[in-house]
Structures are given as structure tokens and as C-alpha cells.
Amino acid sequence: MEMNKDEATRCLGIAQRRRDEGDLAGALRFARKSVSLFPTAEAESLMNSLAQETENGSAEPSATSSASETAPGPELRQRHTGGSSSAKTTSERRPEPSSHSSSYTEENMRAVKRVLACSKTDFYEILSIEKSATDIHVKKAYRKLALQLHPDKNSAPGADEAFKLVSKAFTVLSDEDKRAQFDRYGADPESRSASAAAGNFYQGGGAAFETEITPEQLFNMFFGGDLGGGRFDGGDAFRFGGQPRQFTQRHHQQRAQREEVGGNGLGYLVQLLPLLLLLIFTMTTTLFSGPSEPSYSFSPTYNHHNLQHTEAHQVAYYVNPRDLNAYVSGSRHRMQRFEQTVEADYVRHVQTRCRQERDMRRHEIRRARGWFGLGADEAALQRAENKPTPACDELNRFMG
């Protein structure tokens, strides 16, 4: 909960300011929000005090203001000075004071109806933006609609539901990954069915989002917590843009969880354990594998100029003596293994040359025979049939 401390402090300040302005209901609402975000003794004391004032003394401000206009009549005095049972009965019959105005404009109602008429997953239509809208357009659309539909600004029926739909649309379209999945599948990326269709693309990330932030918290983060604040970026509480976009609230929560699990650095060690094991395995393999085999050639080159012969089949090859000595290092087993590699490579090399020689001989024989006997050349045919194939002879000798 440490991550909500700044937001709780700001809500506490708003509660104190509204109490000074005489708005007890608004002050109590922000005091409760401060306690829910990060309980402190000061916030709880203010909340209890405001709750007591609202419950027991809500009639005093209205009574004081009324006294300056006209004196109360006998019936009103009798109502105020009556027994406790009469006052209790009267308070039970009266509706509880609401912080929202019961009146709304036709424009308020039109805004609500437009949003509610949209499909709940048609996020572009809800925000009244095109599919090609940029991040800036998404933010501007949310800012405009959130101010129109927030329950503190719009008391029309259905405003609360419309406000939630706008918040939902913004959380999807302002997140690069969720927006990409929505554009591809056309379904709510935070729903289980959409996650299954996408191959668990988010692995439950949408559910985590729902539990981390509510439409009201999103609004407060976006506008700084006050309807008149108008801050485009919600300070430290919410970060727009970036790769990827994310709530720093989630980032702080994950960091707090890591610190809680990994006291004294144990958590970080557990996270790094796979990487450490891979590093140890690589180093061990390198240490015990020894030096790599030297390169060689079957014809002399600048780097391979020292002639050698394998012990088993006397295959000639050229190698750099320094590389060979460094690899063998007096080990007969390594030398035998290296010569086996040379001989296997030599066999493949001779087989390739043998195929080429046989193909060439067949080609010369076909040409000497002519086209269905036309243009046949008996002398050329005899030479082709007797054409030597030294690579094939070498292969037969080696495999002998």
C-alpha cells in the first residue's frame, strides 16, 4: 500500500479544503478515499469527525442560513424541539442528502444515450474515434467524455454505466498490446474468452488490471483527482505512452511484491537463478571440452602447410603444426579422434569427386553413341568407356 501514499495524501488535502469550504459530503468522500488508499491516523480522525458532523449536525448549516432570511414558524420550531422519536421518524422518512444534483441537462442525457447505444466492446465507437486514431486522440477523447459523464458532473440516468464504458474503452485503447489484440480479434482483450482465442496472449493480464484500478481511480489519476484540476498527465500515479504503456501503480506493486518475497536480496537471487545456472553450465562445458580441433586442408595453403598422414589409412592432409600441437598436447586419444574426423571428411570429399567423374564419363558415352545411332563415333565411345576415374579408384582402395 506504500505506492498509494502520495495519492492518499493528496485526497486528504482535498478533503480538508472542502471541509473548510463547507462541503461536508465532498470532504467525507475524499477522506474515505484517503483512508482506503493509505490509512493514517490523521485521515481516519478527519473521516470520523466528518462522519459525526454529517450524521449529527447536517441540519445546522441550513438552519443557520435560514435564520438570516426569516424566523422559523411555530410548526418548524415544534419540529426542531420535538422529542427524539419524532426527529428519528422524520429523518427516516426523508431521503438521505445526495452529493449529486438531481437535475441534468438535455446535453447530459444525449451524451449518456450515445455511449449506452454502443456495443460494450466497440471501444472506438464509445470514444467516437477512428480506428487509425493516435494515442493523443485517444487521450483527448477520454478526457472530453470523462468530464461529460463523470457522476459528479452528470446526474442523468445511466451516466455511471456510460462512464464505466468510457473508462473501459480507454484502458484497452491506451495500451499498445491490448489494442493490438482487440484490433486483431475484435473482442475484449481482458476477457477470458479473448485471452483463450489469442492463445493466452496476456496470460490473465486483463484480470489483474481490473483488480488494480477502477474507473474512478483512473479518472483521478488522469485529472489529478479533482474535476477542476485538468492535469493531462496524472503525475506519478499514471504514466501515458512509453514502450510499453503501463500503470506505474502496477509497477510499484510488483516491485513491492518482489521486495516482500525477496527480503535481504533472496527474491532477486531466485529470479536470477536460471540465468546463473545457464552461465555455470556454459562455463563448465567450455572448461571440460578442451581446445577446439584445428582446421586442416587436403591441399597445401598459406595457413595449412605442414603435411601429415593419418595412421589408419595414410590419408594425406595439411595442417598448421602449432594448432595441431596445442590441440593434441601429447594425448594419443585426441590424435586418434582428430584423424578419424580427417578420414571421414576425406571419404566425403572423394565420394563427391567420384560422382563427378562417373557423371562426366556417362555424358561422354552418350555423346559418342549419337542420337539413336546417328552420328555415332566408335573411337570416342571407346575412349569414354575406358576413361579413368582416379577418385573412384581411391574410394575403392580406401573402403577395400
Q: Read off the pLDDT of residues 378-397 as tens digits, 9 standing for 90 and up.
A: 899 899 999 999 999 988 88
Lowest mean pLDDT of 3-12, 194-203, 290-299, name the range. Answer: 194-203
DSSP tally for the chain: helices H, then strands E: 20, 3
Higher pLDDT: 259 or 146? It is 146
- Cα-only R_g, the chain: 43
Placement of cell 472530453 in the chain: 144
The one-letter amino acid code at 166 reads V
Order across the sheet with 296-297: list the strands. Answer: 296-297, 316-319, 306-309
Higher pLDDT: 331 or 261? It is 331
Placement of cell 595449412 in the chain: 304
The one-letter amino acid code at 233 reads D
Residue 180 CB neighbour total at 10 angstroms: 13
Across 368-385, average pLDDT: 87
Please check the confidence at residue 55 and state whether its pLDDT lies above 70: yes
Q: At what angle do helices 332-369 and 378-385 cross, to 10 degrees?
A: 170
Placement of cell 450515445 in the chain: 114
Across 326-342, average pLDDT: 88
Could you name the CATH architecture of 118-186?
Orthogonal Bundle (1.10)
DSSP annotation string for 332-398: HHHHHHHHHHHHHHHHHHHHHHHHHHHHHHHHHHHHHH-BTTBT--HHHHHHHHT---HHHHHHHHH
Residue boundaries of the structural domains of the chain = 2-54, 118-186, 296-399
**In this structure, is the dihedral angle defined by the CA atoms of residues 105, 106, 112 and 115, taken in order, positive or negative?**
negative
Q: Read off the pLDDT of residues 68-100 as tens digits, 9 standing for 90 and up.
A: 444 444 443 444 444 444 434 434 444 444 444
Q: Read off the pLDDT of residues 146-162 as tens digits, 9 standing for 90 and up.
A: 898 988 888 889 888 99
Please check the confidence at residue 218 and state whether its pLDDT lies above 80: no
Across 343-352, average pLDDT: 92
